[in-house]
With several copies, the nearest count.
Chain A
Amino acid sequence: MPGKSGIQSGGSQGVGVEGELSIPYRHAAGRHAERFSREMRDNRRIMGVRCSRCEAVLLPPRPYCGFCFEPATEWVEVADEGELVTFTSVQGDPDAAVFEEPRIRALIMLDGAGVHFPHVLGEVAPDDVSEGMRVKAVWSEDRNGTLSDIKYFRPI
């Protein structure tokens, strides 16, 4: 059985069953996700796909357009820079642990993309951030095919 559990006496508060539900998984992300991941890791490129019908450039890339139910197979490189759509300066995580310094979460419309790209900002103080500013990716030297292959976006 996954996880482990044990009864803990809770006194007059009722008994508590403590434990951990542990579910190791290995999802197939699909072939489009594989190429997206590989291009990030090996070529520092952000690749989207264009819908054959509505022509939106979709991120993350999928073999279909969710709006048209049509194939989306034309690969399109989008820029690693774009316009800041919106942001928030986060002081801590949802469990109330406070970060050493605020983390600036951002939505970015990369040049050539049709969908917002979520990431974090760096090399800028929260008070100096404004919507509409131009930002560019700072790539990590140590890449594994996830969004963290980009360290952060910085103002340009």
Chain B
Amino acid sequence: MTRAAAVVGAGQTVHADRRTDVSVPELAREAARRALEDAGIRARDVDAVVFGSGPESWEGVNRPEGWIGPALGVPGKPILRVHTGGTTGAAATIAAFYHVTSGMFDVVLAVACDKPSERVAGGLPDDEAGAGFTLDTRELAAMQARQYIDRHYPEVREEHGAMVVAKNRGNAAKNPFAQVRTPVAAKDVMASPPVATPLKELDCPPLADGAAALVIADERRARKIASRPAWFAGLGTCSAGAFMPDFDMAYPEPCVRAAQIAYQMAWIYEPLRELDLVEVYDAFSFQELIWTEALGFCNPGEGGKMVEQGITAMDGEFPVNPSGGILSANPGGAGAMLRQLEAALQVMGRAGEHQVPGVKKAMAHSWGGALQFSTVTIFSHRM
């Protein structure tokens, strides 16, 4: 039996191509301060901090854990730096949840920050262990998209990826923190230059400097701090290996398993009916469709229909990424925490212009590595 915990405050920076006005700790502090203000507490009320950021090879920053503490205003409190590829931000939240539910801490601040603009050149690095066996993220996503389309053609076609982009960019127009807020039409996506077939330029995400922060509290403190906390109802984490036999990129097992674990914990049997919306880690357009299927919101191959029929639109039966998703703001490891932040705000009824009416349960998803990391977080308006 696990102690109850909830998100009681949330903050994020604007996600911009490049923030030259602030250093990494200053960027992290922006989000942290907003989260604390949002919760209405002071830094000294925080009992511990979990900090997630990219590896050196991602942003050229040396051991940020050594100097991030003062920026977050928590001298003398425990700070844990975590990293799990693209799921880093979500892992920070989940580790903060463990901190609180262990009974050791009442209020924990989870912060995720990435400033990829500061690495001047170079793609994602080699896997030194694999002697060249690793694909870069874009190649991986392109192959994943091809396998997915080929398996389900003509139910899924290239146009469905373009529809996802059009939908999410449209949603982002209502999100003041998004990086890319200009709407595009599906036909613009189709007409954009190919980068790695079948992915075209507009199927791929931007890259942003940005940070996010969540205040997580135990039951007693959560009730005091927030009138409507976003309670953690289900959590699932799955880390598969790299170089796996029988790995199916078009229906990735780590995602399926993470969802199963979270549904079991949250007593959810019919995700589409029992949840009100989902924020998925749509790093590439087709992935939104793949995750929608792997998370159990429709059958394999029905992802295209979900977007084409407007089911996943902001005003549809089951909104997917009302915030605009990663396709509209991609601040590295902070992106995974943003999914949780947006899902929590929806449950708290404070998502702003992109609030979906009447949300009671919302889910956040993230993936990382060579698709081997997956996290699922379910928030509920009730404990």
Point out the residues of chain B lying under 8 angstroms from A91, CB to CB: 193-196
- CB pair A89–B197 under 8 Å, yes or no, is yes
Number of interface residues, chain B, beta carbon within 8 A: 68
Point out the residues of chain B lying under 8 angstroms from A69, CB to CB: 33, 36, 42-44, 72-74
Point out the residues of chain B lying under 8 angstroms from A17, CB to CB: 128, 131
- CB pair A28–B20 under 8 Å, yes or no, is yes
- The interface centre, meaning the residue of A21, A66, A105 with most chain B CB atoms within 10 A of its CB, is A66
Q: Is B315 an interface residue (CB 8 A)?
A: no
Residue among A58, A60, A105 making CB contact with B245, cutoff 8 Å = A58
- Which chain B residues (198-246) contact chain A, with CB distance < 8 Å? 198-199, 241, 243-246
Point out the residues of chain A lying under 8 angstroms from B125, CB to CB: 1-3, 21
Point out the residues of chain B lying under 8 angstroms from A62, CB to CB: 25-26, 70-71
Expressed in whole angstroms, the minimum distance between the Cβ of A92 and any Cβ of chain B is: 7
How many angstroms from the CA of A67 to the CA of B43 in the assembled complex? 10
Point out the residues of chain B lying under 8 angstroms from A126, CB to CB: 197
Q: Is A79 an interface residue (CB 8 A)?
A: no
Q: Is the interface of B mostly helix, strand, loop or mixed?
A: loop
How many angstroms from the CA of A69 to the CA of B25 in the assembled complex? 12
Q: Is B181 an interface residue (CB 8 A)?
A: no
Residue among A21, A22, A66, A87 making CB contact with B69, cutoff 8 Å = A66
B interface, CB within 8 angstroms of A = 19-26, 29, 33, 36, 42-44, 56-57, 59-62, 69-75, 115, 118-126, 128-139, 142-143, 146-147, 150, 193-199, 241, 243-247, 249
A interface, CB within 8 angstroms of B = 1-3, 5, 7, 10, 13-14, 16-17, 19, 21-31, 33, 36-37, 56, 58-60, 62-69, 85-95, 105, 107, 114-116, 118, 126, 131, 146-148
> 20 A-B contacts, Cβ less than 8 Å apart?
A1-B126, A5-B126, A13-B21, A26-B120, A28-B118, A29-B131, A37-B131, A58-B243, A60-B130, A64-B71, A66-B73, A69-B42, A69-B73, A86-B150, A88-B142, A88-B146, A95-B121, A95-B122, A114-B246, A115-B243
